[in-house]
Amino acid sequence: MIHSMYLNADYKQRVVVNHHDLDWVASPQVGVERRMLDRIGGEVAKATSVVRYHPGSKFESHTHELGEEILVLQGVFSDNDGNYPAGTYMMNPPGSSHAPRSDSGCVLFVKLRHLGPDQQHREVVDTQTAEWFQGMVPGLTVMPLMRQGLGSTMVRWAAQTYFNPHRHFGGEEIFVVDGVFEDEHGRYPSGSWIRSPHMSTHKPFSQEGCTIFVKTGHLSGN
C-alpha cells in the first residue's frame, strides 16, 4: 500500500524519464506492477505510470472518479466492454467504472485522475487502423485521440522531420511509443516520457523517425 507520495509533483519543472530505466513496483493487486512517472497521492492518486499485467491478472470493478487515459503498448488489455490489443487508446470519463484484466498479459501507459467535466463520453481509438492527417510540416502526421476538452494526440514523424520552435501554453507531455524523438535539449528513445511546463519552448525533430503520444494544455493550473 502506498501512503501519500509526491513524485515529480511540481508541474513547473521539466522532467525526462525513460521507463525502461525504472524498476517494476508491485501494486496491491497480485500480478500487476507499475513504473511510476509522476504521482500525487496514495493508492488513489493523480498519476502517470507504465503498468504491466501478468497473464491472468485482473482487478475487481472500480470507479474512476476523475477518469483515466490508457494507451496499450504491448499485449491485449481487456475489461467488461471488450478486448484492446496493442495500439488501442481509451479515455474512460470521470465517474466511469470497469473491471480490467489481461488474459495473456499486457503493458499500458496510464494517466489517472486528471480529467474533468469536459470529458463526458468514453472514447476508444485503434491507432493501428485510424486515419492519420497531414501535420503542420512535411513528414509530420497526426491522429486525434481524445476529442473532448484538452485533447491527446498521436504524432508520427518521418525520418528527417523538423518542426518549428514553439511555446507550450499549458505545457506538454510526450511519451515516445517507438523510434527516437529529439529536440535541442536531448535525444529520447522509445519508452521516454517528457513533461515540459507551462510556457516552455523547444524545437523538436526526429532524425530516425518516431511515433509519440502527446498531451498539451493540461499543466497550466499546477
Nearest Cα to 42, choosing from 9, 14, 79? 9
pLDDT at 182 over 60: yes
In angstroms, the CA 222 to CA 12 distance is 7
Last residue of one domain, picked from the residues 126, 141, 158: 126
The per-residue pLDDT for range 199-213, each reduced to its tens digit, is: 999 999 999 999 999
Q: Report, as an integer, the average pLDDT of 127-156.
A: 94
pLDDT of amino acid 64: 86
Residue 164, by phi and psi: left (phi above 0), alpha (psi -120 to 50) or beta? beta
Res. 93 pLDDT band, cuts 50 70 90 = very high
pLDDT of amino acid 221: 57
Give the E-state strand segments of 42-171 in sequence order. 45-53, 57-58, 62-64, 68-79, 82-85, 88-92, 96-98, 101-102, 106-112, 123-126, 133-134, 140-144, 152-157, 161-162, 166-168
Res. 45 pLDDT band, cuts 50 70 90 = confident
Residue with cell 497521492: 41
pLDDT of amino acid 34: 96
Q: Report, as an integer, the average pLDDT of 167-183.
A: 96
In angstroms, the CA 65 to CA 80 distance is 18
Q: How many domains does the chain have?
A: 2
Last residue of one domain, picked from the residues 78, 100, 126: 126
How many residues appear in the chain?
Answer: 222
Asked if 75 contacts 97 with a C-beta cutoff of 8 angstroms, the reply is no
Question: In terms of pTM, does the model score above 0.85?
Answer: yes
148 and 65 belong to one structural domain: no
pLDDT at 159 over 80: yes
| Averaged confidence pLDDT in the chain | 94
pLDDT at 58 over 90: yes
Q: Report, as an integer, the average pLDDT of 2-17.
A: 89
pLDDT of amino acid 118: 86
Domain that holds residue 17: 5-126
78 and 140 belong to one structural domain: no
pLDDT of amino acid 3: 64
pLDDT of amino acid 156: 98
Q: Is residue 222 part of a domain?
A: no
Greatest Cα pair distance in the chain: 48
pLDDT of amino acid 1: 52
154 and 86 belong to one structural domain: no
Beta bridge partners of 210: 157, 179
